[in-house]
Amino acid sequence: MAYDASSIQVLGGLDAVRKRPGMYVGSTSARGLHQLVYEVVDNSVDEAVAGFCKNIKVIIHKDNSVTVIDDGRGIPVDIMPKFGKSALEIVMTKLHAGGKFDHKTYKVSGGLHGVGVSVVNALSDKFHVEVRRDGKVSAQDYERGNPVNEVTEAGTAQDTGTTVLFHPDKDIFDSIEFSFETLSSRLRELAFLNKGLKISLSDERNGKSHEFCYEGGIKSFVEYLNQNKAVLHNLIYIYKEKDNLIVEVALQYNDGYLDNIFSFANNINTIEGGTHLSGFKTALTRTLNTYIEKNKLANERLSSEDVREGLTAVISVKVPEPQFEGQTKTRLGNSDIKGLVDSVVNSELSIFLEENPKVARAIVEKSINASKAREAARKARELVRRKSALDSSSLPGKLADCSSKEPDKCEIFIVEGDSAGGSCKQGRNREFQAVLPLKGKILNVEKARLHKILASAELVTLVTAIGTGVGDSFDISRARYKKLILMCDADVDGAHIRTLLLTFFFRYMKPMIENGYIFIAQPPLYKVSKDRKEHYFYNDDQLNAALKSFGDAEVQRYKGLGEMNPGQLWETTMNPDSRTLIKVTLQDAVEADKVFTILMGEEVAPRREFIEQNARFVKNLDI
């Protein structure tokens, strides 16, 4: 099928995009900013899906402009008679203009609305495009969606492809600072979903770079997710094409207690799931229950939660007419996809289980144990509730609550130890600051099921104070505070306690991190007394710079929060006008999962390797 100006259809201008950018890229926050890159890259990936692109390069420049280069066919540049302009200019300046409406140029595509790259153009104060096609280079420049020159011939080309350079408009976005980790996460996904496609990311601001290329596709994705976990069997792979629809599933169980499932539609990460994910879950539950009944392996049916314990899976569907919710495509709505995925997974998985009885027994045994643990967790939860520990009307005795009842204004300090907790309680602003001291190191939830968590007094106290519940009963709308501030000592034990807390939030209260509720306090490391005045410093560089001007000083190295009196804690660590907080964000869920597995999981060898590789980066180590 020829790809030229006749392939481009036009369904309008870009003024509406600048007036309401959130309608097109989700928001003007970091999410919307990074969506600009995804929109450009998705066009290149569509070329790869169509079989015309092998390499994509993404470069973050020092001024936070971004270049995306591909070796696809290149956007058509010939004149569209209806408009008297180059097809390139039409694609870059008109909403709903592109080659993805008739399914001839692209049978499957993530960018179906024809708004992606034109929206990026509209929301950039500088935008440059070059097309390598038919032996020549054609180029055009734009500002805020408006052409500043005609499409011009800029040289000769030995290959084909498209290069886009854009600089986000700082008048539109809250910040134009791109995150290398956030972009890495998405580009890694795209490489997994398109086997053999090479995608590179380089950052001229700091010299970081990644290159992603996976010949195994989503099978490599599951292997990557499970690489530091003890797996129960070899990977199960399902692939089926039917009526121009493609269903692809890779799954593998490990000995952990949480599931890790990713779903995609036309290469788009449907983070809110949709009909393809529902179909998979339904089929998995029914297939395993059918196998259990047929082989008389258990008396009771397993729930969906039971059969997903320890499961790592990737579900990818390719759909000619996907129905996404919104331009940012976080949920798939095609009703027919549920039945198709359900049918395919049920059929193929049933055959696999029959042909691999040892694997089937291992999976079933894992699921049955999960069912028993779930029942134990239910009983533990009921017991705790009878004691009123999880009843919001009966808060923990050690919690010093704030007087305000408005979660948006309230914050809670989760403090290591009763001594520091006492100082915090005395030094806080009682109007909006609550304090919860925890005793010792909490349970490592990476190695524990939910019923063990509900048997841990310190974790139950924490969950009760926060108010959201945990596990099946978790509800972020019930959070009593919108800021949870982890305040631990600046030593090895403090770092360990902080990591245990972060593991708990990541594994069992992930929405708290995703919604930006979790923070880390930054108490000072040093106090310097000079001329009856106290000066506080938060790192060695600050201290050394000050000592050069201070001369002889009395220097105190803080090793515990309990060494500070209430006034000092308020002044340095708790006062919103002067403190420094680190916000915990989830920029790359796959890498975060990998790190928590290494640091807190059962396998010793990966942890030793991680420590050996990263020991030189440790600061403030007490020996």
| pLDDT value of position 326 | 57
Decide if 509 is inside a domain: yes
Q: Is residue 477's pLDDT more than 60?
A: yes
Residue 67 has pLDDT above 70, yes or no: yes
Tell me which of 110-114, 129-133, 179-183 is least confident. 110-114
Of the pLDDT bands very low, low, confident and very high (cuts 50, 70, 90), residue 209 is very high
550 lies in the same domain as 568: no
Q: Are strands 260-265 and 268-269 parallel, antiparallel or unpaired?
A: antiparallel
254 lies in the same domain as 302? yes
Return the CATH number at 418: 3.40.50.670
Rg for the chain (alpha carbons), in Å? Answer: 28
Task: Give counts: helices (H), strands (E), the chain.
Answer: 20, 26
Is 407 or 558 the better-scoring residue by pLDDT?
407
Say if 329 falls within a structural domain. Answer: yes
Q: Is 493 a catalytic residue?
A: yes
Tell me, what's the pLDDT at 399?
A: 94
Assign 541 a pLDDT band (cuts: 50, 70, 90).
confident
The pLDDT score that the predictor gives to residue 101 is: 43
DSSP string, 105-147: S-SS-S--SS-HHHHHHHTEEEEEEEEEETTEEEEEEEETTEE
Check residue 344 and give its pLDDT. Answer: 97
What does the CA dihedral 392, 396, 399, 400 come to, rounded to 10 degrees? Answer: 70
CA distance 341 to 405: 46
Whether residue 591 is contained in a domain is answered as no
Say whether pLDDT at 53 is over 70. Answer: yes
What is the pLDDT confidence band of residue 304, given thresholds at 50, 70 and 90? very high
| Residue 617 domain flag | no
Residue 197 sits in the same domain as residue 184:
yes
For residue 413, the enclosing domain spans 393-523+561-586
| Pair 194, 135 in one domain | yes
Catalytic residue among 203, 416, 446, 593: 416
How confident is residue 622, by pLDDT bands cut at 50, 70 and 90?
low
- Hey, CA dihedral for 145, 168, 139, 101, is it positive or negative? negative
In a shared domain, residues 169 and 44: yes
What is the model's pTM? 0.81
- State the number of CA atoms in the 13 A half-sphere of 507 facing the CB: 27
At residue 533 the predicted structure's pLDDT band, cuts being 50, 70 and 90, is confident
Model pLDDT, residue 148: 96
Q: Show the tokens assigned to 118.
A: 């034109």
pLDDT confidence bin for 388, thresholds 50/70/90: very low
Segment 300-317 mean pLDDT: 95
- pLDDT reported for residue 71: 97
Q: In this predicted structure, which of 38-42, 183-187, 615-619 has the lowest mean pLDDT? A: 615-619
Q: Which of 424-438, 462-476, 523-537 has the highest mean pLDDT?
A: 424-438
Residue from 401, 489, 588, 593 carrying the catalytic annotation = 489
Same-domain status, 108 and 228: no
The domain that holds 295 is classified in CATH as: 3.30.230.10
What is the average pLDDT across 299-305? 92
pLDDT tops 90 at residue 54: yes
- Asked whether residue 82 falls in the same domain as residue 228, the answer is no
Give the number of domains in the chain. Answer: 4
Tokens representing 275 are 């009909």
pLDDT at 137 over 80: yes
Q: Work out the percent of the chain whose per-residue pLDDT is above 90.
A: 64
Q: Give the chain's mean pLDDT.
A: 89
Q: Do 226 and 367 lie in a common domain? A: yes
pLDDT single digits (tens) 218-236: 999 999 999 999 999 999 9
Among 204, 259, 305, 493, which one carries the catalytic annotation? 493
d(CA 110, CA 44): 11
Of 376, 407, 440, the domain-final residue? 376
326's torsion region: left (phi>0), alpha (psi -120 to 50) or beta? left
Residue with tokens 């709903």: 96
Q: Where are the beta strands (DSSP E) in 398-547?
A: 411-416, 433-438, 483-487, 518-521, 526-530, 533-537
Quick one: pLDDT at residue 114?
40
Give residue 327's pLDDT band: very low, low, confident or very high (50, 70, 90).
Answer: low
Confidence of residue 2 (pLDDT cuts 50, 70, 90): confident
CA atoms within 13 A on the CB side of 93: 20
- State which of 212, 229, 250 marks the end of a domain: 212
CB-based contacts of 450, cutoff 8 Å, min separation 6: 257, 373, 374, 377, 470, 471, 508
Active-site annotation holder among 491, 534, 563, 571:
491
Is the model's pLDDT at 593 over the cut of 80? yes
Classify residue 381: in a domain, yes or no. no
Is the pLDDT at 70 greater than 60, yes or no? yes
The Cα 109–Cα 43 span in angstroms is 8
The answer on 478 and 504 residing in a single domain is yes
In a domain, 204, yes or no: yes
CATH code of the domain covering residue 48: 3.30.565.10
- Residue 76 and residue 171 share a domain: yes
First vs last C-alpha separation in the chain: 68
Same domain, 60 and 81: yes
Whether 453 is covered by a domain: the verdict is yes
Query: Strand pairing of 311-318 and 268-269?
Result: unpaired
Q: Is the pLDDT of residue 393 over 60?
A: no
489 labelled catalytic: yes
Residue 571 inside a domain? The answer is: yes
Residues 151 and 24 in one domain: yes
